[in-house]
Structure 1
Amino acid sequence: MVPLMGRPSTGITVRELARLAGVSRQTVSDALRGTGRVAAATQKRIRELAEEFRYAPDPLISAGLAQIRRKSPQRTKAVLGYVETGSTPDLTGIHESYRRLYQGAQERAENLGYLLERFSIADPNIKPKGLQKILFARGIRGLVILYIDDWNKDPAPLPLDLNQFAAATIGARLRTPALHFAMADEFANTQLCIQYLTDLGYQRIGLALPSPLDRLIENRISHAYYGWQQSKSAGVRLPVFDNRVTQFESTANAYRSWIDRWKPDAIMSFPQGRLNRHLGLRFPEQAGFVHLDRNPSNSGIAGIDQKHEATGAAAVDIVARLLALGEIGPPSTAHGTLIEGRWVAGATVEEQGRASK
Structure 2
Amino acid sequence: MNPTQIEIARLTGLSHATVSRALADSPLISKATKEKVRLVASELGYRKNAVMSNLMAMMRAGRDPEVRSTIAFISPFPLDQYCGFDANWEQFYLGAKKRAESLGYHLDVIWRNKPGLTRAGCTAILRARGIRGFIVAPRDRPLGRLSMDWKNFACATLGHNMPGLHLHSAMADHYQNASLALRAARKYGYRRIGLMLTREQDGYFSGMFKAAFLLHLESVSPEERVEPFLQLSDPSPSKDRAAREWIKKHKPDVILCGGSHVDELLASMGLKVPGDMALADLTLALPRENRAGVWERTAETGACAVDLVVERLHNNELGPPAVPNSVRHQGTGHAGPTMPTR
Q: Tell me the TM-score normalized by structure 1.
A: 0.77
Paired position in structure 2 for 1:338? 328
Task: Tell me how far 1:347 sits from its aligned partner.
Answer: 0.6
Q: Say yes or no: does 1:259 pair with 2:247.
A: yes
- Report the secondary structure of 1:281's partner residue: coil
Which of these residues, 185, 189, 207, is aligned with residue 177 of structure 2?
Answer: 189
Paired position in structure 2 for 1:35? none
Task: Tell me how far 1:12 sits from its aligned partner.
Answer: 9.1
How many residue pairs match? The answer is 316
Task: Tell me how far 1:349 sits from its aligned partner.
Answer: 1.1
Whether contact under 8 Å (2:237, 2:264) holds in the other structure is no
Map 1:204-243 onto structure 2 (within 5 A).
Answer: 204-243=192-231
AA of the residue aligned to 1:180: H
Paired position in structure 2 for 1:102? 93
Paired position in structure 2 for 1:78? 69
Task: Tell me how far 1:131 sits from its aligned partner.
Answer: 1.4
Paired position in structure 1 for 2:310? 320
Task: Tell me how far 1:159 sits from its aligned partner.
Answer: 2.5
Map 1:1-357 onto structure 2 (within 5 A).
Answer: 7=10, 16=19, 19=22, 24=24, 48-51=42-45, 75=66, 77-85=68-76, 90-124=81-115, 126-127=117-118, 129-149=120-140, 153-246=141-234, 248=236, 252-271=240-259, 272=261, 273-296=263-286, 298-352=288-342
- Report the secondary structure of 2:283's partner residue: coil
How far apart, CA to CA, are the structure 1 residues paired with 2:110 and 2:15? 39
AA of the residue aligned to 1:214: D
Task: Tell me how far 1:214 sits from its aligned partner.
Answer: 2.6
CA distances 1:204-242 after superposition (whole Å, capped 9, x unpaired) = 100011233333333211111111111112332222212
CA distances 1:87-110 after superposition (whole Å, capped 9, x unpaired) = 998323321110001000000000
AA of the residue aligned to 1:118: V
Identity %: 27
Structure 1 range deviating more: 307-316 or 172-181 = 172-181
Whether contact under 8 Å (1:193, 1:303) holds in the other structure is yes
4+ residue runs of structure 1 moved beyond 6 angstroms?
Answer: 9-12, 86-89
- For the structure 1 residues 79 and 47, does the alpha-carbon distance in structure 2 shift closer, same or farther, using more than 3 Å as the test? farther
- For the structure 1 residues 227 and 329, does the alpha-carbon distance in structure 2 shift closer, same or farther, using more than 3 Å as the test? same
Q: For structure 2, list consecutive stretches of 5 or more residues without a partner in the other structure.
A: 1-6, 27-38
Structure 1 range deviating more: 185-194 or 9-18 = 9-18
Task: Tell me how far 1:183 sits from its aligned partner.
Answer: 0.5
Task: Tell me how far 1:147 sits from its aligned partner.
Answer: 3.2
Q: Tell me the TM-score normalized by structure 2.
A: 0.80
Whether contact under 8 Å (2:196, 2:232) holds in the other structure is no
- Report the secondary structure of 1:7's partner residue: helix
How far apart, CA to CA, are the structure 2 residues paired with 1:343 and 1:73? 47
- For the structure 1 residues 46 and 343, does the alpha-carbon distance in structure 2 shift closer, same or farther, using more than 3 Å as the test? farther
Task: Tell me how far 1:203 sits from its aligned partner.
Answer: 0.6
Structure 1 range deviating more: 180-189 or 122-131 = 122-131
Whether contact under 8 Å (1:184, 1:341) holds in the other structure is yes
Task: Tell me how far 1:48 sits from its aligned partner.
Answer: 4.7
Task: Tell me how far 1:294 sits from its aligned partner.
Answer: 1.3
- Report the secondary structure of 1:160's partner residue: coil
Q: For structure 1, list consecutive stretches of 5 or more residues without a partner in the other structure.
A: 27-44, 353-357
Task: Tell me how far 1:279 sits from its aligned partner.
Answer: 2.7
